[in-house]
Structure 1
Amino acid sequence: MTDHAATDAALAAEIATHAGELLLELQRSGRFEGRELGDVGDARADALILERLRAARPADCILSEESADIGDRHCAQRVWVIDPLDGTRSYSEGRREWSVHVALVEDGLPTHGAVALPTRQETWRSDRPSELATAQRTPRILVSGSRTPVEADALAAALGGELIRMGSAGYKAMAVLRGDADIYYHSGGQHEWDNCAPAAVALASGLHCSRIDGTQFRYNRADTLVPDLLFAHPDWAERALAAIAAL
């Protein structure tokens, strides 16, 4: 079982990395710009990931942001949840804040995964846990740059923290894992593909990952909506949850 688990994690990392390289090459080619670049990048990265997964794991189901959900996967034990290009707007505008997500969900839980950050030449993976940096006394709180929660300023004030706006769910989650921030907070709604791979990687390294009421993430649901999330350094998790509950 251990060897199989390691293979699943390695497969996720390999595929996410290769999709990220494809996206970088496309972005640098100058053949497409703006929204067209984002659309073409989404489609080509999705095609690459689907082809590789279907070849390597033909018996598994797949849920992708960019492919039709035909409704046959929510009863499956093993489902790959992918976001071929998280942060499409950042990507299409030539910014750094985008990522590629590949995760395996087993019985509703994110067991293995990888998040590629191509502009940083990094791929974070669940089979290679990272040692967490020391939490800061003044927490750095990441929120969406385009969909900032209306209560974000109040949360920052309650925790005595600094609010930082940033694109891409995966990019933000890995910033907390890297130690560049202490909390990633979102309450504006996402879908499973936005945060499944980040959760798989972050949980493996000991970050707190949950809904903002503290309940555990569950994936491969018939409804893919994930209304809110909290990724936090464990030293800040309880205080963040208490502050959120008091808002």
Structure 2
Amino acid sequence: MGPGEDDRGARSAAAGDHPGEPHEAGGLSTRLNWLRAGVLGANDGVVSTAGLVVGVAGARSTAQELLTAGLAGLLAGSLSMAAGEYVSVSTQRDSERAALAAERRELATAPEAELDELTGLYIGKGLSPQLARQVATELTAHDPLAAHAEAELGINPKELVNPWNAAGASLVAFTVGALLPLLAIVLPPADARVPVTVGSVLAALAVCGWGSARLGGAPVRPAVLRNVAGGALAMAVTYLAGSLLHASAG
């Protein structure tokens, strides 16, 4: 292998190529964005609706009252989740756009200083000064904003987060998650409502914990245990509160 091939290999490593891994141009951060929102939305839908209907069941409510309370919680929760996710991701997107605008101004007014800064970043990653300068120069010539934004800001200008994707994923996922405890509380006979709901919800939370851990590359067992324990605690507290209210009213 000659010197030219060495340089090309180093530039490929600096640009982030990983042989054998499939790459798609764009879309990765967007998919991760709505997947994250979907998993969190489903988890919140399960927990919040389960806590609501189990608490109402603790007050010895009828199936009609449970259905009404559950549907109200589903609608309020899903819309709240969607609005909150939209606002949160929109703020992140605005920050990314502001950072990119500042980077464009710096590239236009001080291109040499920006090239020196990019060279320094690649030197810090382990490239020799000569090769770092060559890589920085070639990447800047190809797409200066993308080269500097990714290295300096960790932003891909072509993959900005999408607030509508996140809001839609949260809305749908919360609704789907909320339907499980709602159906589990109204369909079984009165004496089986709470046990069926608790069992269904804990199983769903285990799945949500597994999904969130897999999505984030985290250990599965702690995520599942945290999720299940949190849901169980929420249902226990609301059921106790409903039972105390029923007793005091009686």
TM-score normalized with structure 1 length = 0.30
Structure ranking higher in helix proportion: 2
Q: Which of structures 1 and 2 has the bigger CA Rg? A: 2
Structure ranking higher in strand proportion: 1
Q: Higher relative CO (CA 8 A, sep ≥ 6), structure 1 or 2?
A: 2
